Structure 1
Amino acid sequence: MTPTPDPGAEPVSAVVAAGIRDVPDFPQPGVVFKDITPLLADPVALGRVTAAVVEVAQRVGATVVAGIEARGFMLAAPAAERAGLGFWPVRKAGKLPPPVLRRDYALEYGTAALELAATAVRPGERVLLVDDVLATGGTARAACELLEEAGTEVVALVVLLELASLGGRAPLGDRPVVALRTEP
């Protein structure tokens, strides 16, 4: 009888790799979409990722966890709950009732904006920011700037997957980035 491997013994980067499905030419030709649905559907894998985010939150002394809409929510909220911390959603523009704090930013193909509920923000908080994929870094930088303009300190950005070839760390300056998995 062959023993069943202990999923807890596998490095978290391997768990992430096994839980991401590449979808070529989505949402447009030439783009490879990183689908995290398989990881989210696997309670053991999701638990491992959540535990890894909690470990980072504890290590950096975070007092709150923020997640970038939408897939960052799915990783940040359970980690915040497990760590005993509050969760702040960083939303796309127009999704929150006023009052909101807003940050406009440029994308390769236009502009976008992120918002944060002004009623949730407490200046001086130490924020762990969470997202799914770090690609070019524009959205992550805008989220960091929004949180910093609100008077908080972004103590680290945690991403499930970093696509290193796209240079997403550069726009983040010296902000600490923790990638659970990095692909070239």
Structure 2
Amino acid sequence: MDLASHIRHVPDFPKPGILFYDISTLLAHSDAWRETIDRMAEAIRPMQPDLLAGIESRGFLAAAPLALALGKGFVMVRKRGKLPGRTVSHAYALEYGEDVVEVQEGMIEPGQRVVLVDDLLATGGTASAAVTLLRKVGAEVPGAAFIIELIGLGGRARLDVPTETVLQLEA
């Protein structure tokens, strides 16, 4: 199945000059969405995860059904202030300023194998920060998986874990 044909391209979103790759059209097509989840599950299974960690917010859309398909748990990696209770955070640099990602304290036990999942790998900044955060709470991170990788933005090179993608598209 040509999954790329189910990705809508939205020019100048969220700001002028940005081409947004919208997975909403993929999600709306049940056969294409099932194929996406099946391909991602096949790529993740050899990593032998105990848990999947999805990056806010579209990463949740992929990580939750993948966790269910693989019979594994799911944890959320969110921006600062979005999770209840005690959290562990990691600040990272952006082009202009910084951002913070968090996980809930106690959701990941030291030594658990946690695979990172998101919809899109672009520059890799947030994904790299999420890997660092997962390690900070004691996780072993055997890999990461994405629906789309934007080739030419260097995201894969910023990750020091094996990285799987379903689609590779030009940036």
TM-score (norm 1): 0.89
Aligned equivalent of 1:182? 168
Cα separation, 1, equivalents of 2:34 and 2:62: 10
The 5 Å alignment of 1:57-96 reads 57-96=44-83
RMSD: 1.0
Return the alpha-carbon distance in structure 2 between the equivalents of residues 62 and 19 of structure 1: 28
CA displacement at 1:76 relative to structure 2: 0.5
Percentage identity across paired residues of the two chains: 45
| 1:61-115 deviation line (CA, Å, top 9, x unaligned) | 1111110000000001001011110000111110011210101111113211100
What's the CA shift for 1:56? 2.2
C-alpha distance in structure 2 between counterparts of 1:131 and 1:93, whole Å: 18
What does the per-residue CA deviation read over 1:2-43, in whole Å, with 9 as the maximum and x for residues that have no partner? xxxxxxxx2xxx21x112111111111100111110001111
Q: TM-score, normalised by structure 2?
A: 0.96
State the secondary structure of the residue aligned to 1:56: helix
Report which of the two structures shows the higher radius of gyration computed on alpha carbons.
1
Shift of 1:60: 1.2
Q: Aligned pair count?
A: 170
Q: Deviations over 1:115-137 (max 9, x none)?
A: 00112111111111101111111
Opposite residue 165 of structure 2, the aligned amino acid is A
Cα distance in 1, alignment partners of residues 32 and 104 from structure 2: 31
Divergent runs of 4+, >4 A: none
Question: What is the alpha-carbon distance in structure 2 between the residues aligned to residue 143 and residue 31 of structure 1?
Answer: 23
Paired residue secondary structure (1:102): strand
How is 1:64-143 mapped onto 2 (pairs within 5 angstroms)? Answer: 64-143=51-130
1:169 aligns to what SS in structure 2? helix
Cross-structure match for 2:10:
23
1:55 and 1:172 mapped to 2: Cα distance? 20
Specify the code of the residue in structure 1 equivalent to 2:96: Y
Q: Which amino acid aligns with 2:162?
A: P
- Structure 1 stretches lacking a partner, 5+ long: 1-9
